[in-house]
Amino acid sequence: MSAINRQPKKSSDKRSLLIVSGILASIGISLFAYLMFYTAPEEVTERVEIIAVTDEGCIAETMDGFAVNIGECNAQEGDFIVALVDQKTKERAAAMNPTN
């Protein structure tokens, strides 16, 4: 009888580890890119009515009925001004509070 000396190939173990690491890294990068896209503001200039002035900034109501914080402003309650409004905040508010 002849003895066959078989040893596991170490290169295939390294290659499979590299493939699994690459897949996990690409999943992580994809999730990070999606998160950055989802949370990045999409600001649009819009005419709003000031409904409150607080320490954190002015609270304004958009023409389609959403209350947003526009930051510091030099206006009084009831004034109409043009301000930057984050559209994604409005989309999230609509998703959380459906009108139907």
3-class state of residue 92 by DSSP: helix
Local confidence band at 11 (pLDDT 50, 70, 90 cut-offs): low
Of the candidate ranges 4-8, 52-56, 66-70, the one whose mean pLDDT is the lowest: 4-8
- Residue 3 counted as domain residue: no
Choose between 26 and 85: higher pLDDT: 26
Q: Is 57 exposed, middle or buried (0-12, 13-18, 19+ CB in 10 A)?
A: middle
The CATH number covering residue 59 comes to: 2.40.50
Same domain, 23 and 49: no
Average pLDDT of the segment spanning 8-32: 87
With cut-offs at 50, 70 and 90, classify the pLDDT of residue 26: very high
Decide if 83 contacts 48 (C-beta within 8 A).
yes
Domain that holds residue 69: 43-96
Total domains in the fold of the chain: 2
The answer to whether residues 73 and 79 touch, using CB atoms and an 8 Å cutoff, is: no
Residues 30-40, mean pLDDT to the nearest whole number:
87
Query: What is the phi/psi pair of residue 65, to 5°?
Result: 90, 15
pLDDT of residue 51: 94
